[in-house]
Structure 1
Amino acid sequence: MILTRLNTGERLCLSALAREFNVTERTLQRDFNERLSYLPIERENSTYFIDPKFLGRQRKSDIKPLLEMLGLSQIFPSFDELLFSQLNTNQIAPFLFRNIKVEDTTGYEETFKSITLAIQENRKVKFYYKRKAYNEVSPYRLVNDRGWWYLVGIHNSTLKSFKVLNLCGVTISKQLFERHSDIDRQVVEGTLVWITDSPTEAVLRIESTIASHFRKTSLFPNQQLLKDLDDGSLLVTASITDQKQIIPILKYWLPDVEILSPVELKQSLLYELQFSIEQLSR
């Protein structure tokens, strides 16, 4: 929102923004000086604005840091060859994303805003998750993993993830926490195991006809290659804390994926398929 207002030529007063977004002026100053430092922002006392000669422009050098901050830079093969500068014109955009899996977030907009604010101000939060109270959680990032939003943070000295959909009663504490670069790196690089209390490991057999897709990319949550079989198929494992993390992916790749374990996951998938068939038969 701030970026849009700046790019339309609006002059933003720090104190007014602080009241509007219910944050401190110090937080906003840090955003202008660090997060938005790649923009040609001018300052007069406590008022920020974009140099008029840059208004409405959108350059490759502008959008690259933004994509990197959001973890989206690897979507595009090259920044040198892509004409990002044309995205703000009346021409048809050269890029189009289709069939992106996203959840319905309308039910937790305020929760999302509160967590975002806590992350920006390095403040601890407390909340209820699946009827259990979690106090003094240090929120690091809101991560969208395969279309689902998760809060990733430190609780009881352990890195955990919580599906935002299942959070309730989120309260921002006055207590600050110190961010650690190694934790940030672990979240960004995707090496963490999505855990709440204990993850479930699924063992899957991938048919040879689609095996190449799974060799190139981790399509399942926390996917690990277990074994290359003689017939060209693969054995892989996936670590999940919620069956909704993996069932939509399994349904997409059927019938070329077989669940070897756990039995509960196979039963849940069968139930989903039977329910879908009943719905179509009505």
Structure 2
Amino acid sequence: MKNQPFNKQTHTNKESRVKKYKKVNQCIAKILSRLYAGETLSIKSLVEECQVSKRTIQRYVNERLAYFPIKKDGDLFSLDWVKEKKIDWSEEEVAVLEMLDNLSKNQGSAFYEKAHKILKKINSFNPYYTRLDIEKIDDFLPVVIELEKAIKENRIIHFTYTMQHGTFKIKAKPLKIANFQGFWYLVAEDMKDGVIKKYLLRQIAQVKISDEKFTPPKNLHEKISKALSIWFDPDIEPFEVRLFIDGKVAKYFKYKPLAPSQIILGEDQDGSIEIALKITHEMEIIPIIKQWLPHIRVLEPKWLDEMIKEDIKAYLNEF
């Protein structure tokens, strides 16, 4: 038997397969988005929009969307909200979702619009009001999407980072997207020196995901969860800080601990307390201490107490 001649049309390469699957996923995502927005879709219109055959759209609906409550009427189909609303939400779950709906407003109009379309299905009335001083994440949503993908796939990235003294090209291992004091950061290991650094998301641009993969550190999430601020250093062994808290403000430190590591060492009759917590960098705690002056005092370490006193003296001498 003679070998069949090579036919380019019947053979695919990695690039063409990736392009094909991307097109499929985009089409299905578009269908789901419009269904959850309450639209009734037609097979005919989707054939034109997605530029695929009628049989392909029917397969998407019958196979890829088989677990969704689809209601069909000839060429038309939509989400069967009657079935959808039979989910037995508890009062506690509804309360949490309503709170999430309100919190999403702080992330900017584009993010809130997407989240609200789903969350508004739960309840038309939301009794919560929250105010969080957080950057609007939709200001740099395209960057976030690329970083999220790279973090999930453990892939090394290249990006440009703009600072006051110039723009730099960075090659790094992306580890976490984190929010500290209302600002969004990328926590990543700089491939140049192997140091874990924090990059402001709004100053990141031109993100490119490489094919290079890496193994993330096992205990990074635990270290981030214990951090007080962006000043934390995951490469430093935490040290203990002991603080005296005046009785006038002690309740706030009881209701909302400064860190997961905070413990109450003792309490006086006037309500004042002594607490201990662990940090990796003095700037994790210094701004917080200054915020609560004169109702807070550093007991240990002594060098930290002296550092804050010197700052106060310099301020008074200056003004």
> TM-score when scaled to structure 1?
0.51
- Distance (Å, rounded) in 1 between the aligned partners of 2:210 and 2:150: 10
Residue by residue over 1:82-106, the C-alpha shift from the partner in whole angstroms, topping out at 9 and shown as x without a partner, is: xxx9954775313222x32324668
In structure 2, the gaps of 5 or more residues are 1-28, 51-63, 71-76, 104-117
The structure with the largest alpha-carbon Rg is 2
Deviation of 1:171 (Å): 3.1
Residue 92 of structure 1 corresponds to which residue in structure 2?
125
Amino acid at match of 2:274: L
1:152 aligns with 2:187: yes
Is contact 1:126–1:137 with CA below 8 Å preserved after alignment? no
Is contact 2:156–2:172 with CA below 8 Å preserved after alignment? yes
Residue 125 of structure 1 corresponds to which residue in structure 2?
157
Deviation of 1:184 (Å): 7.8
Greater shift after overlay, 262-271 or 165-174?
262-271
- Distance (Å, rounded) in 2 between the aligned partners of 1:218 and 1:180: 29
Alignment of 1:38-53 (within 5 A): 40=68, 51-53=79-81
Deviation of 1:174 (Å): 1.6
Alignment of 1:34-113 (within 5 A): 40=68, 51-53=79-81, 60=89, 88=121, 91-97=124-130, 99-103=131-135, 108=140, 110-113=142-145
Equivalent of 2:243 in 169, 191, 204: 204
* Secondary structure at 1:186 match in 2: helix
Q: 1:92 to 1:265 in 2, by over 3 A?
A: farther
Number of corresponding residues: 232
Amino acid at match of 1:148: F
- Distance (Å, rounded) in 1 between the aligned partners of 2:120 and 2:136: 27
* Secondary structure at 2:157 match in 1: strand
Q: Which is bigger in relative contact order (C-alpha 8 A, separation at least 6)?
A: 1
- Distance (Å, rounded) in 2 between the aligned partners of 1:257 and 1:100: 25
Deviation of 1:137 (Å): 0.9
- Distance (Å, rounded) in 1 between the aligned partners of 2:37 and 2:134: 29
Amino acid at match of 2:297: E
Deviation of 1:207 (Å): 1.8
Q: Using the aligned pairs only, state the percent identity.
A: 19
Q: 1:245 to 1:177 in 2, by over 3 A?
A: farther
- Distance (Å, rounded) in 1 between the aligned partners of 2:251 and 2:283: 24
- Distance (Å, rounded) in 1 between the aligned partners of 2:209 and 2:141: 19
> TM-score when scaled to structure 2?
0.47
Equivalent of 2:213 in 168, 177, 184: 177
* Secondary structure at 2:148 match in 1: helix
* Secondary structure at 2:184 match in 1: strand
Q: 1:268 to 1:110 in 2, by over 3 A?
A: farther
- Distance (Å, rounded) in 1 between the aligned partners of 2:309 and 2:234: 22
1:116 aligns with 2:148: yes
Q: 1:180 to 1:117 in 2, by over 3 A?
A: closer
Residue 143 of structure 1 corresponds to which residue in structure 2?
178
- Distance (Å, rounded) in 1 between the aligned partners of 2:223 and 2:277: 20
Q: Which is helix-richer, 1 or 2?
A: 2
* Secondary structure at 1:96 match in 2: coil
Residue by residue over 1:45-104, the C-alpha shift from the partner in whole angstroms, topping out at 9 and shown as x without a partner, is: xxxx9733369859638x96xx79xxx7xx9xxxxxxxxx9954775313222x323246
* Secondary structure at 1:234 match in 2: strand
Amino acid at match of 1:7: Y
Amino acid at match of 2:258: L
Residue 164 of structure 1 corresponds to which residue in structure 2?
200
Residue by residue over 1:197-224, the C-alpha shift from the partner in whole angstroms, topping out at 9 and shown as x without a partner, is: 659966533223333432454325x653
Residue 235 of structure 1 corresponds to which residue in structure 2?
275
Is contact 1:7–1:56 with CA below 8 Å preserved after alignment? no
Equivalent of 1:7 in 26, 29, 36: 36
RMSD: 5.8
* Secondary structure at 1:235 match in 2: strand
Amino acid at match of 2:125: I
- Distance (Å, rounded) in 1 between the aligned partners of 2:276 and 2:297: 10
